[in-house]
Amino acid sequence: MSEKAAIIRRLRRVEGQIKGIQKMVEEEKFCGDILIQIAAARSALNNAGGLILENYMKTCLKNYTAGCSNDEELDKLVEILLKYSKQN
């Protein structure tokens, strides 16, 4: 399975989790159970984001070390990494 397919599969799973949470709220399920599902969806989304970040970093660093990128692209990578890490 390609990396793109793996990421899409994870995002679809998150989408299913979110729809399940919406249904739980509509059916007025126990708040504790809803919060547990929200935590699980958040974790799954973070994992998908981690894969995307990993792929981006590998590509960016390969290009940089091969001389195909400039410092601006490396600075952008650092900026994205910092923003992503603040969300977790």
> How far apart are alpha carbons 10 and 5 in whole angstroms?
9
Per-residue pLDDT tens digits for 21-58: 999 999 999 999 999 999 999 999 999 999 999 988 88
C-alpha pair distances (Å), 31 with each of 26, 27, 40: 12, 11, 14
Structural tokens at position 73: 């692209």
Q: Report the percentage of the chain scoring pLDDT > 90.
A: 53
> How far apart are alpha carbons 3 and 78 in whole angstroms?
22
Structural tokens at position 49: 């984001």
Per-residue pLDDT tens digits for 74-87: 888 888 888 888 86
Question: Which domain range does residue 57 map to?
Answer: 3-87
User: Looking at per-residue confidence, does 73 or 12 come out higher?
Assistant: 12
Domain count, the chain: 1
CATH of the domain at 58: 1.20.58.1000
